[in-house]
């Protein structure tokens, strides 16, 4: 029976078998893992400790460094064998990683192969820390309205600005229910420049039939069973907290992510002035199909 690490094992095997293919990309690797690009990116990063694309680049450069010292092939042939589409691209990446160009590295006997990044031992994947313990709750369907924008992992630093823009509207949204807020994460299948996309919405709960003000969006969140994790640190560190959930907690359970958005839940415990206080993170879950 497979376990929660099986998608990562399939992805790692696919990467190692296609390191020489310049067309290897996130969408392709995610398909091999049978996950959406955004969900795969989070699971892989949390499990391996590197983003998928960073892992691929480090593996290619490590293989290139070994070939430069051990083989007589031309730099161009080594570049192509390591998945780079040109010698120039290989040289730029190699210099950035090792500090010298490939030709210098090969000729200087005093330069040794350091920072070699060997393949992850997929057979021995396991949590890197104590497994987190969430609450499990059933939550009925609800409706939110808020300010939404598309992000990638590289642009998440812009999310606080989204809240800054939405903040003055809290309390004046038609049909608003209470003053709790949600940071809604809606995954997408799109990949841009090798980065998975997702929609993040700063929003409040509203009556299902509430009107949507100009510039805002409405989301219907289905009823679901949720794993609820409580974050109690500065909000700037929540991304690492979420990486741990997907990389350590999910693989150690018989559960997987269900259809529907993840979301941050902010209530009276949260202090927006200091960026501290308890924040709950909800993830819809279901049993693995073959568990």
Mean pLDDT of 39-57: 91
Question: What is the share, in percent, of the chain residues with pLDDT greater than 70?
Answer: 96
* Average pLDDT, rounded, for the chain: 91
Q: What is the pLDDT of residue 289?
A: 60
> Residue range 4-29: average pLDDT?
92
pLDDT computed for residue 1 by the predictor: 39
pLDDT > 60? residue 61: yes
74 — pLDDT class (breaks 50, 70, 90): very high
- Phi, psi of 109, deg, nearest 5: -70, -20
Topology (CATH level 3) of domain 135-287: Multidrug-efflux Transporter 1 Regulator Bmrr; Chain A (3.20.80)
164-211 per-position pLDDT tens digit: 999 999 999 999 999 999 999 998 778 888 889 999 999 999 999 999
State how far the Cα of 70 lies from the Cα of 5, in Å rounded to an integer.
34
* Res 259 pLDDT > 60: yes
DSSP codes of every residue in 161-193: HHHHHHGGGTT-STTEEEEEEEEEEEEEEEEET
> Quick one: average pLDDT of 28-43?
91
- pLDDT at position 25 is 93
Pairing of strands 276-277, 279-287: unpaired
Residue 49: left (phi > 0), alpha (psi -120 to 50), or beta? left
**Whether the predicted pLDDT of 290 surpasses 60:** no
Mean pLDDT over residues 90-99, rounded? Answer: 94
Q: Which parts of the chain fold into alpha helices (H)?
A: 6-17, 26-33, 37-48, 52-70, 75-81, 87-98, 102-107, 159-166, 238-244
Residue-level pLDDT at 127: 66
- Of 129-133, 216-220, 226-230, 272-276, the poorest mean pLDDT is in 129-133
Tally of CB atoms within 10 A around 234 = 11
| More confident: 252 or 230 | 230
Residue 131 is predicted with a pLDDT of 65
Highest-pLDDT range among 124-133, 240-249, 261-270: 261-270
**Contacts for 74 with CB less than 8 Å, ≥ 6 apart:** none
User: How confident is the model over 241-248, as a mean pLDDT?
Assistant: 88
Structure confidence at residue 291 (pLDDT): 42
At 151, is the pLDDT very low, low, confident or very high (cuts 50, 70, 90)?
A: very high
CATH number of 6-124: 1.10.10.60
Q: Give residue limits of the domains in the chain.
A: 6-124, 135-287
């Amino acid at each position: 029976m497979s376990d929660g690490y099986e998608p990562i094992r399939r992805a790692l095997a696919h990467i190692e078998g296609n390191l020489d293919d310049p067309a290897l990309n996130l969408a392709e690797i995610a398909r091999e893992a049978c996950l959406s690009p955004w969900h795969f990116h989070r699971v892989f990063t949390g499990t391996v400790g590197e983003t998928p694309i960073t892992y691929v680049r480090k593996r290619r450069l490590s293989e290139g460094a070994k070939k430069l010292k051990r083989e007589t092939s031309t730099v161009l042939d080594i570049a192509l064998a390591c998945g780079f589409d040109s010698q120039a691209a290989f040289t730029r990446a190699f210099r950035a990683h090792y500090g010298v160009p490939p030709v210098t590295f090969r000729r200087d006997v005093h330069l040794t192969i350091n920072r070699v990044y060997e393949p992850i031992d997929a057979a021995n994947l396991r949590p890197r820390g104590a497994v987190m313990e969430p609450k499990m709750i059933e939550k009925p369907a609800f409706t939110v309205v808020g300010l939404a924008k598309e992000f990638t992992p590289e642009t998440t630093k812009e999310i606080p600005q989204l809240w800054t823009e939405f903040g003055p509207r809290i309390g004046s949204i038609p049909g608003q229910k209470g003053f709790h807020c949600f940071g809604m994460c809606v995954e997408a299948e799109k990949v841009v420049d090798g980065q998975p996309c997702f929609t993040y919405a700063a929003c409040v709960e509203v009556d299902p039939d509430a009107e949507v003000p100009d510039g805002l969006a409405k989301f219907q969140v289905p009823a679901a069973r949720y794993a609820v994790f409580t974050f109690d640190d500065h909000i700037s560190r929540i991304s690492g907290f979420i990486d741990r959930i997907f990389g350590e907690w999910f693989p150690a359970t018989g559960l997987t992510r269900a259809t529907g958005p993840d979301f941050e839940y902010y209530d009276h415990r949260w202090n927006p002035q200091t960026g501290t206080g308890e924040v709950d993170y909800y993830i819809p879950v279901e049993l693995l199909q073959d568990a």
